[in-house]
């Protein structure tokens, strides 16, 4: 476990999955990030690579050859190398190997770094194609936040605040796959009260919001969690039926739609990198104390 801190916050990370494991405020010593209690969900904030969501039968094709990948890919379960650490910055790196090539036939490097500034954590993903052929991939984030944050509160005391009024239409899931349908949640939505009923069919998946900023707020106090994910085309909102957390998940890519096994390059939301090219994306988490 490694940590960096400033006068406002302290964050902890681990080499397995280069995962963020804690965001603590100095003012009130609150941890805003989910504690990975396996009774509900045993992760904190995994990276999703080289696929976001579930593949049909956990399979995909490259030039008609079939490969297997589990839901959300393998990076979250692999040991990254800590390559750089400063007072306010830490970087982890994962490189392709014989192990990864069996599941994903491309030479790559994946860097995940964290930088803190005041009460904000900036998370950057850097994917490099080290192969001699074009490389298809998806990448996404899956941070979970403690909801409720304080004792004597309930999940329903919280709401999602949007930066602008939004027409909220979710991409429907059937099991772990996209059904091909969409459902309108509401029009001109600025604040969305959190209820368990919202997640009756698993995650909410929004595409191309007017503003890629979401804030989790309480009706009872001013503590808040703001996630800014400029450039990400999709965002998933997820929890389990009784879990005391909420995930805000910026994605480049989504789960497969029900149907046959697909060529990786033809999956919805897929990114393509030419040889020696690099893809970079950043999202941030800002924690506000009462």
Residue 211 belongs to a domain with what CATH number? 2.70.98.10
- Please give the pLDDT value at position 289: 86
CA distances from 269 to 138, 146, 175, 184, 255 (A): 7, 29, 20, 21, 9
- Please give the pLDDT value at position 109: 98
CA distances from 189 to 107, 165, 185, 230, 277 (A): 43, 5, 9, 20, 39
Radius of gyration, alpha carbons of the chain: 19
Separation between Cα atoms, residue 223 and residue 28, nearest integer Å: 10
Where does residue 39 fall: left (phi above 0), alpha (psi -120 to 50 degrees), or beta otherwise? alpha
Domain count, the chain: 1
Beta-ladder partners of 277: none
pLDDT digits (tens, 9 = 90+) for 161-210: 999 999 999 999 999 999 999 999 999 999 999 999 999 989 999 999 99
Of 56, 63, 70, give the one whose Cα is nearest residue 103: 70
Mean pLDDT, rounded, for 54-70: 96
Sheet containing 19-25: which strands, arranged edge to edge? 2-5, 9-14, 19-25
pTM (predicted TM-score): 0.96
Question: Half-sphere exposure of 243 toward its Cβ, with a 13 Å CA cutoff?
Answer: 22
Residues spanned by the domain of 152: 2-288
- Please give the pLDDT value at position 1: 84
Lowest average pLDDT, out of 65-69, 141-145, 173-177, goes to 173-177
The per-residue DSSP string of 233-281 comes to SEEEEE--TT-SEEEEEEEES-PPBSSS--BGGGSTT-EEE-TT-EEEE
Cβ 60 vs Cβ 31: under 8 Å? no
């Amino acid at each position: 476990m490694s940590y960096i801190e400033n006068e406002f916050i302290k964050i902890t990370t681990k080499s397995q999955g280069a995962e963020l494991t804690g965001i603590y405020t100095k003012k009130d010593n609150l941890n805003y990030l989910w504690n990975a209690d396996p009774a509900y969900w045993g992760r904190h904030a995994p990276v999703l690579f080289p696929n976001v969501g579930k593949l049909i039968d956990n399979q995909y094709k490259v030039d008609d050859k079939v490969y297997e990948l589990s839901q959300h890919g393998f990076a979250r379960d692999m040991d990254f190398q800590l390559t750089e650490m400063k007072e306010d910055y830490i970087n982890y790196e994962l490189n392709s190997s014989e192990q990864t090539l069996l599941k994903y036939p491309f030479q790559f490097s994946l860097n995940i770094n964290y930088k803190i500034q005041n009460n904000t954590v900036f998370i950057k993903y850097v994917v490099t194609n080290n192969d001699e052929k074009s490389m298809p991939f998806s990448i996404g984030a899956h941070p979970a936040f403690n909801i409720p944050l304080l004792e004597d509160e309930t999940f329903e005391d919280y709401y999602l605040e949007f930066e602008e009024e939004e027409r909220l239409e979710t991409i429907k899931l059937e099991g772990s796959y996209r059904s091909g349908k969409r459902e309108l949640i509401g029009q001109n939505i600025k604040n969305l009260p959190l209820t368990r009923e919202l997640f009756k069919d698993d995650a909410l998946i929004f595409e191309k919001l007017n503003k890629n900023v979401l804030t989790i707020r309480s009706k009872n106090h001013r503590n808040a969690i703001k996630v800014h994910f400029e450039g990400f085309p999709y965002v998933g909102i997820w929890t389990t039926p009784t879990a005391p957390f909420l995930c805000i998940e910026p994605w480049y890519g989504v789960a497969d739609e029900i149907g046959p096994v697909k060529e990786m390059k033809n999956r919805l939301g897929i990114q393509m990198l030419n040889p020696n090219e690099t893809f970079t994306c950043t999202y941030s988490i800002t924690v506000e104390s009462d």
